[in-house]
Amino acid sequence: MNGAGATWLGEAFGAAGKVQTVPAGELLFRLGDVPAALYLVLEGEARARRFSPDGAEILMQRSRAGELFAEAGLVAPRYSCEAFCPLITTILRIPLAEVRARIANDGEFALRFAQFQAVAMRRQCARYERLRLKRAADRVLHYLNCELTGPAGATLALDIPLAEWADDLGLEPETLYRTLAELEKKGLIQREPRGRRIRIAGAAAACGG
């Protein structure tokens, strides 16, 4: 997902949406709060979490730039989790009443919103599917295939630091660096000198394509 979502949604709601900068670690909402807004991440990251009875943190949703967050608020009477930003994050806060009104009264908007959500859901599912893979190499190749949007063998330009990518893959940074080197040595990927652009040799066009 890219900034296209931020552009069209921002234009759709204009002055009704409020841009807000959230400090690292600050909560967006708490468990049990009544939903009042839909969030679009413009820069940074937002996460939703629950805690198990033994205190373990369970990640429910993770949204980055260009992605919506806490969409469940459109139908849930209260939040069943809490949300926070792990780093300084800029969000567009859109009143739920405005979103519901546009969906109910603007068919073109409703269709585009549904399409946007379908793409987002597919990407979230791919993330969870990826974490179920045991081998680091499988997680890396799965990510690259799912994030490619061009023809087979297209080059993927990473828009996040490698350390953040490692966290997204559920790997230690050292494991990711080592895995990339091994995949390159086997001829499965090709990297530019600084490693921020990666090409999969003979890759499928896209995840699920």
Instruction: Say whether both 138 and 153 belong to one domain.
Output: yes
More confident of the two residues 1 and 182: 182
| Residue ranges of E strands in the chain | 18-22, 27-29, 37-43, 45-51, 57-64, 68-69, 82-84, 89-95, 155-157, 189-191, 197-200
More confident of the two residues 167 and 76: 76
CB crowding 17-49: b at 16 or more within 10 Å, else e: beeeebeeeeebbeeeeebebbbbbbebbbbbe
Instruction: Say whether both 120 and 141 belong to one domain.
Output: no
**Per residue in 101-117, pLDDT tens?**
999 999 999 999 888 88
2 — pLDDT class (breaks 50, 70, 90): very low
What is the predicted pLDDT for the residue at 144?
83
Q: Is residue 68 predicted with pLDDT exceeding 80?
A: yes
Tokens describing residue 4: 């296209």
Instruction: Say whether both 77 and 156 belong to one domain.
Output: no
Other beta carbons within 10 Å of 100: 13
Domain membership of residue 112 as a residue range? 4-129
What is the predicted pLDDT for the residue at 179?
92
Longest CA–CA span in the chain (Å) reads 55
Instruction: Say whether both 112 and 41 belong to one domain.
Output: yes
The set of residues, in sequence order, having a beta carbon less than 8 Å from that of 207 and lying 6+ positions away, is: 122, 126, 142, 145, 146, 147, 148
Instruction: Say whether both 65 and 78 belong to one domain.
Output: yes
Last residue in a domain, options 129, 150, 179: 129
The single-letter code of the amino acid at 6 is A
What is the predicted pLDDT for the residue at 205?
36
Tokens describing residue 110: 């409703």
* CATH number of the domain bearing residue 70: 2.60.120.10
Instruction: Say whether both 86 and 176 belong to one domain.
Output: no
Instruction: Say whether both 22 and 118 belong to one domain.
Output: yes
Instruction: Say whether both 124 and 139 belong to one domain.
Output: no
Instruction: Say whether both 172 and 73 belong to one domain.
Output: no
Average the pLDDT over 6-13 and give the result: 78
How many domains is the chain built from? 2
Cα(74)–Cα(173) distance, rounded to whole angstroms? Answer: 37
Tokens describing residue 53: 């009875």
* CATH number of the domain bearing residue 179: 1.10.10.10
Is 206 a member of any domain?
no
Cα(6)–Cα(44) distance, rounded to whole angstroms? Answer: 13
151 — pLDDT class (breaks 50, 70, 90): low
